[in-house]
């Protein structure tokens, strides 16, 4: 596997898109959190009520793990986009064929892509951990691992995004189409989720049955759902409408989707003509 990854690294390290997108991500994570930090600090200074509701800044330990994970997760599109581009490049240049002609098995080709998706997710998570440490420590709060599970949720979300990107690239084989479809899909899922949410509210009003929000169980939302906004705790509104008490169920769904994505991409790679 290390041998395969070393070859993959030869392909990736000189690719401008890789350097650009990874830098955007690293800088973006820091910038986004810094903006949120400034914003919250400002609001907290001005609005007396929030001071009463909040004990400490969301950028203090323990909340910082949750806060930074949440804001950074908006940027997970970038590594996933990179996965989409790297895989569709192979189809575009027909190097996926050449790699196999030269002696990789079809599964080896997929395996190294899966590993890359996982490594990108781990890398993104590492950036988030470092950012959280910087903010947490700079606010002068006492270091703590409490709430570190949010980092795990972030990792899960990163893996899911990258897997969705990988699958879409394998299915479409064309970079333009794959990128468009990736964005359309995320918008589509949010749309469907919204519709299901309204449906759930209606059902609750009509019959009293609480369906919660079924949209939370869709592939990308399931991994999203585990990361809630750090401001929920004092807004109090979002939480009452969207119950996140089904964490275990949402987690199960998220893991099931990952298994489905894996099996689907394997089938695609092994069974079809390249």
Partner 1 sequence: MAILSIDNLTKNYKSVKALDKVSFSVPSKTVFGILGPNGSGKTTLLGIVMDVINPSAGTYTWEGSHESAHDRRKKIGTLLETPNFYHYLSAEKNLMIAARIKGRGEADIAKVLKMVNLYERKDSRFNTFSLGMKQRLAIASALLGDPDILVFDEPTNGLDPAGIAEIRELIKELFKSGKTIIMASHILDEVEKVCTHVAIIQKGVLKTVGPVAELMDTPEVDTGGSLLIEISATDNNGLKNALKQLAGVETVTEVENTLQLVCTEKITGEILNRFCFDNGIVLNKLNVKRKSLETRFLEITGKQSDK
| Residues at the site binding partner 1, with contacts judged by CB under 8 A | 3, 6-7, 10-11, 14-16, 89, 93-95, 97-106, 108, 271-274
Rounded to 10 degrees, what is the CA torsion of 5, 172, 263, 247?
90
**Which DSSP symbol is given to 144?**
-
Phi and psi torsions of 154, nearest 5° = -60, -45
CA distances from residue 87 to 40, 95, 172 in whole angstroms, order as listed: 39, 10, 10
Write down the least CB distance from residue 4 to partner 1, Å: 9
| Closer to partner 1 by Cβ: residue 16 or 205 | 16
Write down the least CB distance from residue 99 to partner 1, Å: 6
Write down the least CB distance from residue 7 to partner 1, Å: 5
Give dist(CA 87, CA 8) in Å, integer: 11
Residue (of 259, 240, 256) closest to 248 by Cα position: 256
Give dist(CA 226, CA 126) in Å, integer: 19
Write down the least CB distance from residue 259 to partner 1, Å: 25
| Closer to partner 1 by Cβ: residue 101 or 256 | 101
| Closer to partner 1 by Cβ: residue 7 or 53 | 7
Write down the least CB distance from residue 101 to partner 1, Å: 5
Write down the least CB distance from residue 183 to partner 1, Å: 24
| Closer to partner 1 by Cβ: residue 14 or 240 | 14
| Closer to partner 1 by Cβ: residue 63 or 265 | 265
Residue (of 7, 179, 184) closest to 89 by Cα position: 179
Q: Quickly list DSSP for 45-62.
A: HH-HHHHHH-SS-TTSTT
Give dist(CA 193, CA 77) in Å, integer: 18
| Closer to partner 1 by Cβ: residue 112 or 200 | 112
């Amino acid at each position: 596997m290390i041998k395969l990854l070393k070859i993959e690294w030869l392909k990736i390290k000189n690719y401008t898109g890789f350097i650009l997108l990874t830098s955007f991500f690293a800088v973006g994570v820091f910038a986004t959190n810094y903006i949120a930090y400034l914003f919250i600090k400002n609001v907290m200074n001005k609005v007396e009520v929030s001071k009463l509701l909040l004990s400490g800044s969301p950028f203090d330990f323990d909340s910082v793990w949750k806060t930074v994970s949440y804001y950074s997760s908006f940027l997970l599109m970038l590594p996933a986009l990179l996965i989409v581009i790297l895989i569709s490049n192979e189809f575009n240049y027909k190097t996926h064929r050449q790699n196999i002609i030269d002696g990789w098995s079809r599964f080896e080709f997929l395996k190294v892509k899966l590993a890359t998706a996982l490594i990108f997710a781990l890398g993104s998570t590492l950036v988030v951990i470092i950012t959280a440490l910087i903010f947490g420590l700079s606010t002068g709060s006492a270091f703590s691992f409490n709430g570190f599970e949010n980092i795990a949720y972030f990792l899960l979300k990163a893996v899911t995004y990258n897997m969705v990107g990988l699958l879409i690239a394998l299915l479409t084989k064309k970079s333009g189409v794959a990128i468009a479809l990736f964005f359309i899909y995320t918008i589509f899922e949010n749309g469907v989720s919204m519709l299901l949410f309204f449906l759930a509210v209606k059902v609750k009003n009509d019959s009293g049955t609480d369906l919660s929000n079924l949209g939370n169980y869709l592939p990308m939302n399931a991994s999203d759902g585990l990361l809630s906004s750090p401001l929920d705790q004092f807004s109090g509104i979002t939480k009452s409408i969207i119950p996140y008490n089904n964490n275990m169920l949402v987690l199960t769904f998220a893991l099931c989707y990952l298994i489905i994505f894996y099996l689907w991409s394997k089938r695609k790679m092994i069974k079809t003509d390249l």
